[in-house]
Amino acid sequence: MHRNASELDTWQGSGRSCKILVSLEETGTRDISALLVKFEPGEGTPVHTHDGIELMFVIEGEGISVEDGKENKISKNSVVLAEKGVPHQIMNGSDGPMHMICVYAPPLPDSYIMANYKRIPKAEE
């Protein structure tokens, strides 16, 4: 399988957007899902948990990750691992966008993205 992220639809949420790189619905992948996420300056996620692990890799930008109440500075090339059930949060602390790859195992359901983000077809970007 090969996909080019620049050719994928964007899903827009509050202060962040994502592209579905790998998922059951998009690619038929059953064991993991992966998103390319962009956080606008000062934006981030609420504290949340997952039924599996989330591995995050910072491509660009700087921010703060919080895992189980412990804050860590993150920047380009940082890796964050949120274990199953561990409360975690990501915040963009820079003046520019922060881009991350987020990988979930087991997969994050596509229905989560569809319920929390608005699809912007590639043709409309």
| pTM for the full predicted model | 0.92
Report the pLDDT averaged over residues 94-123. 91
Which tokens go with 125? 């970007």
Mean per-residue pLDDT of the chain: 94
Which tokens go with 48? 């949340």
Residue ranges per structural domain of the chain:
12-118
Beta bridge partners of 12: 17, 118
- Give the pLDDT confidence score for residue 122 in this predicted structure: 76
- Predicted confidence (pLDDT) at residue 123 exceeds the cutoff of 80: no
CATH no., domain 12-118: 2.60.120.10
